[in-house]
Chains A and B, each alone.
Chain A
Amino acid sequence: MSIEVRFGIKRGEFSLTIDTEIPEHGVTAIFGASGSGKTTLLRAIAGLEAPENGFLKVGGVVWQDTNTFLQTHERKIGYVFQEPSLFQHLNVQDNINYGLARSKRDKSERSLDDAISLLGIEHLLKRMPWQLSGGEQQRVAIVRALAADPSMLLLDEPLAALGDEQKAEILPYLESVYQQLDIPVLYVSHSRNEVARLADHLLLLDKGTIKASGKVTDLFTSLDLPLAHQTHAETIIDTTVTSYDAEFGLATLKFSGGQFVVASNPLDSQTTVRLQILARDVSVTLEHQKDTSILNIFPVTIDHLVKESSSQMTLRLLAGKTPILAKVTCRSAQSLGLKIGDTVYAQVKTVALLR
């Protein structure tokens, strides 16, 4: 089952037309430039905007159609706003209790305690909001949203108002929250880096319409979309740990197209690890180079290639079924005679562990 979303919203010059389905599991990032309608879409799902016409069905229940419009307080959501929005007249504990008391939560308190310790706010419970840093306030806001026992979590760029340091501090918390939740998470972001780290699915918004939707790993490497053509184009691959070599500090990570050997801290076998490979860190050779320091070399087929400029070219390579982007110079492409369908070897110089 999925979340069915159909909205038509007009606000002066701006209009938003959405017709899509959002998976009921995992994190879906709503990604796009500012003004593309990300926040409006999220607010409409929360019932904070009333679309002129719309249809919304969550978990088999119609929240909105021609005759139905559930008010925001009747929708089982958790919402985290862009700027910290704690109730200034209540302390942290009472902020959390606000949603808790109104949610008719029948679960034990344990899951809430888990959320409190997961986000590391035990020591803040008696404080007032203005005594907290921006990052701490957002952590409390996340716990408060979770305390209301939502069946869907909506986050509107929860990190946008924070400095880089606080972002870095809160990202790991968000990751662990997302991994432990069994409810769908909709996450608005214009940060490519956050999306790469956090999201499973992607909804690409442009000027009020959906440009593409699908798995992050697919959309990041689709040459039909702008993401793959940016300077920092990257490939995201979800892998599983098969072994760890403590002597050299190297983990072996399996994916559908082969395996990566990556320097890392010790990793347990079978844990899933998301890898990031920048397109400019991937080069291609016609022969399998044996005398090289590069650890990760795969046979790949050229699936697609696009000239970016007179000097640069982006290749979409397939290792098994897994796409990998590579940026090469047009001169190299010409001298190697690269064309679609060729089998070549991809050399991956640097692999980063995202999570």
Chain B
Amino acid sequence: MILSEQDLTALFVTLKLASVSTLVLLVVGTPLAWWLSKSQWRFKYLIEAIIALPLILPPTVLGFYLLVSIGPNGPIGGLVDALGGAPLAFTFTGLVIGSVFYSMPFVVQPLQNAFSSIGERPLEVAATLRASPMDRFFTIAVPMAKPGFITASVLGFAHTLGEFGVVLMIGGNIPGSTQVVSIAIYDHVEALEYGQAHWLAGSLLVLSFLLLIVVYGANRRYTVAKP
């Protein structure tokens, strides 16, 4: 076996984290992106700026604040504690929360652009054909924003795959629970296990490359299909 059992577990944790985070991001990000694309609220740009923060913030900064807020004395941690929930820091759930914030712009921005580019007209047409607002969203907006959903999902997934700083700050490095590939690679290098680091790094490289091929391939198909 080229990859050790611990490396395989790290790979599994990474894929699980990326999948769960992407799902959560789509559920949270879709209504948010829809609202951003439709709202005329004058302070909308504040929300947009907050969502874009992880793009420029060092992951350790984001991770630090998340750690403080999900810790037992933080606002989120305190709330969970008061509701009788288990502490979130250094758990898989904590990692998911961190990833969701960290990858939010990569999901919300493509969705917002996709929704905006649909324009009002198709939705107005659907309204004149007796479709209620909810009906219009699911039968017109979502299918027409399909390229945006593909881009958002893959970018959200891929970005979570490569997470390091946030994970290290709030998840620690617990094998089988919160140790992800990027941290496992770091450990291998620290221990001068370059062979194992190579295999693991290579796996992530190939995986990320394949994902991006899917994104750009899909987008190309859409632009080619509609001259």
Contacts and interface: CB of A to CB of B under 8 A. Distances in A.
Interface of A: 46-48, 71-74, 77-79, 81, 83, 85, 87-89, 98-99, 102-103, 130, 144-145, 148
Interface string B121-148: 1101111111111010001100110100
Interface in B180-227: 226-227
A87 B123 CA distance: 9
Given A73-B130, A73-B131, A79 B125 contact: yes
Chain B interface main SS type? helix
A83 B121 CA distance: 10
Contacts of A144: 129
B118 to A, nearest CB: 9
Interface of B: 121-122, 124-133, 135, 139-140, 143-144, 146, 226-227
Contacts of A83: 121
Given A47-B127, A48-B128, A81-B124, 10 more contacts: A72-B128, A73-B129, A85-B122, A85-B125, A88-B144, A98-B126, A102-B130, A102-B131, A130-B227, A145-B128
**Which has the most chain A C-beta neighbours within 10 Å: B129, B144, B146?**
B129
Contact of A89 (B125, B132, B146): B146
7 closest cross-chain pairs (CB), A and B: A99-B129, A79-B128, A102-B130, A72-B127, A89-B143, A73-B127, A85-B125
Nearest to B139: A98
Contacts of A79: 125, 128
Contacts of B139: 98
15 contacts: A48-B127, A48-B128, A73-B126, A73-B130, A73-B132, A79-B128, A81-B124, A81-B125, A85-B125, A87-B144, A89-B143, A99-B129, A102-B131, A103-B129, A144-B129
A88 to B, nearest CB: 7
A46 B128 contact: yes
A31 B149 CA distance: 43
B226 A130 contact: yes
Contacts of B135: 73, 102
Contacts, number: 62
A110 B122 CA distance: 27
A43 B129 CA distance: 14
Nearest to B118: A88
A83 B135 CA distance: 23
Nearest to B143: A89
Given A87-B122, A89-B144, A98 B127 contact: no
B144 A98 contact: no
Contact of B130 (A85, A87, A89, A99): A99
Contacts of B131: 73, 98, 102
Nearest to B128: A79
Nearest to A141: B125
A23 B41 CA distance: 41
A277 B133 CA distance: 49
A87 B125 contact: yes
Contacts of B143: 89
Contacts of B129: 73, 98-99, 102-103, 144-145, 148
A48 B125 contact: no
A77 B128 contact: yes
Contacts of A103: 129-130
A79 B121 CA distance: 12
Contacts of A89: 143-144, 146
